[in-house]
Structure 1
Amino acid sequence: MTDPILSITDVNLSLDGNAGQVDILHDIALDVAAGETLGLVGPSGSGKSSLLMLMGGLEQATSGRITALGQDLTAMNEDQLARFRRDNMGVVFQSFHLIPTMTALENVATPLELAGAGDAFDRAAAELSAVGLSDRMDHYPSQMSGGEQQRVALARASAPRPRLLLADEPTGNLDEANGQSIINLLFDLRDKHGATLIMVTHSGELAARCDRVVRLRDGRIDDTLAQAAE
């Protein structure tokens, strides 16, 4: 693989718990190519979401190095990481994380305004229309279904046109019909904007649509999956 958009080298993650230090990830090494769709799979507690959070600079590695778009995330402070995410990444969470006191339009426009876009609300409106919510722009999260809230979250993540789109169990809180709709929207956004898509999922159907699948087990990349494919 040449010129990976994201590269992880010998990364470890340990966190302090009630019973002392807990080792979450061990010796992770992984490269992701620009434009690739990568699925992170594995049993609960295997470290999938933790690895995604490290990729997004939302958690700091205990040791090792993570570079994205040629920049060393592990050398950045919190403010630098926040600016890097604002300019280069979109993140979609399982639990939506919408701002409850803002309408759908305001939720989507917020990251654009923070980035200094003068046409933030026009772009937000276009993005909501693209996910089928042109008639829900003035509604608050509490007035929307789970599927609609996740569509707003997708619109918010994709509106700044990120080079990297990270999704943590994007269908985990949705029923089958809404989950399928969100899956289709994710891949449509990837194709439309040319983003690199990395997602954590328990969905076999979603994983099957990825270009590559990495399985984690006990905080390590499980090489048996790659060996089985050879």
Structure 2
Amino acid sequence: MTLDGNAGPVTILQDISLEVEKGESLALVGPSGSGKSSLLMLLGGLERATEGRITCLGEDLTAMNEDRLARFRRDHMGVVFQSFHLIPTMTALENVATPLELAGVADAMARAAAELEAVGLGHRSGHYPGQMSGGEQQRVALARAVATRPKILLADEPTGNLDGANGDAVIELLFDLRDRHGATLILVTHAPELAGRCDRQLRLTDGKIVRTEQAA
């Protein structure tokens, strides 16, 4: 992955060769600027690879246009961002229901309500993001990401904006939801305790994979 910078092309990722098994949990770790989030965005079809190919569930993401990528994510992926990305003018329930409605799910509101209950926020379903704490907003974001029961769950620093207690709670929820839905989990994190929960850790430095560590 190469981007154009003011001083010329900048290589973000290079020589990446990676396979992730169905049901595996994988942590992408490394220093800031090492390419972790960029790799996650490539895997989710949210960024374009300059060279190479990304195959997911038997489909070539690099051959898809933006509309096909959006439909593929809608049908198969859930994404959790560090900054939540909730829609501020929608309630918690409406935020979680949105991807279900876009997918044409008939009982979208009922499913969304069940997912909010699963993250302990059934009582906050009518509240807007601005009325909730950071920890609550991230739990709503988690509920939204898994509401469509995706095969793949991507999370970019899911505890990065949370304090210790809220971060621990979100870690537990993330793995509980992963187990309940049987999804493959790929996450970016600086938190050793979160990375340590994964089956495998992939360490990046300067846009390259430098080490792979299996769970003890």
Query: What is the TM-score of this pair, normalised by structure 1?
Result: 0.92
Asked if 1:133 is matched to 2:121, the reply is: yes
Compare 15-24 and 200-209 and name the one that shifted more.
Answer: 15-24
5+ residue gaps, structure 1, are 1-12
Separation in structure 2 between the aligned mates of residue 70 and residue 195 of structure 1, nearest angstrom: 16
Asked if 1:221 is matched to 2:209, the reply is: yes
Per the alignment, residue 113 of structure 1 pairs with 101
What RMSD over aligned residues (CA atoms) do the two structures have, in Å? 1.2
Per the alignment, residue 96 of structure 1 pairs with 84
Per the alignment, residue 153 of structure 2 pairs with 165
> How far has the Cα of 1:175 moved from its partner?
0.1
5+ residue gaps, structure 2, are none
Per the alignment, residue 49 of structure 1 pairs with 37
Question: Which structure 1 residue ranges, 4+ long, deviate > 4 Å from structure 2?
Answer: none
Separation in structure 1 between the aligned mates of residue 4 and residue 168 of structure 2, nearest angstrom: 37
Per the alignment, residue 198 of structure 1 pairs with 186
Per the alignment, residue 9 of structure 1 pairs with none
Aligned AA for 1:75? Answer: A
Q: Please state whether the residue corresponding to 1:30 is helix, strand or coil.
A: coil
Separation in structure 2 between the aligned mates of residue 20 and residue 151 of structure 1, nearest angstrom: 40
> How far has the Cα of 1:16 moved from its partner?
1.5
Of 2, 27, 43, the residue aligned with 1:14 is: 2
> How far has the Cα of 1:17 moved from its partner?
2.1
Q: Please state whether the residue corresponding to 2:104 is helix, strand or coil.
A: coil
Bigger strand share:
1
Q: Please state whether the residue corresponding to 1:202 is helix, strand or coil.
A: coil
Q: Structure 1 vs Structure 2: percent identity of aligned residues?
A: 76
Separation in structure 2 between the aligned mates of residue 162 and residue 20 of structure 1, nearest angstrom: 39
Separation in structure 2 between the aligned mates of residue 138 and residue 20 of structure 1, nearest angstrom: 49
Alignment of 1:78-93 (within 5 A): 78-93=66-81
> How far has the Cα of 1:99 moved from its partner?
0.3
Question: 1:56-108, CA deviations, whole angstroms, 9 ceiling, x for partnerless residues?
Answer: 00001000000000000000000000000000000000000000000000000
Query: What is the TM-score of this pair, normalised by structure 2?
Result: 0.98
> How far has the Cα of 1:173 moved from its partner?
0.1
Per the alignment, residue 10 of structure 1 pairs with none
- Highest RCO, 1 vs 2 (Cα 8 Å, sep ≥ 6): 2
Question: How many corresponding residue pairs?
Answer: 215
Of 52, 56, 73, the residue aligned with 1:64 is: 52
Q: Please state whether the residue corresponding to 1:122 is helix, strand or coil.
A: helix
Per the alignment, residue 4 of structure 1 pairs with none
Separation in structure 2 between the aligned mates of residue 155 and residue 209 of structure 1, nearest angstrom: 20
Aligned AA for 2:140? Answer: V
Asked if 1:208 is matched to 2:199, the reply is: no
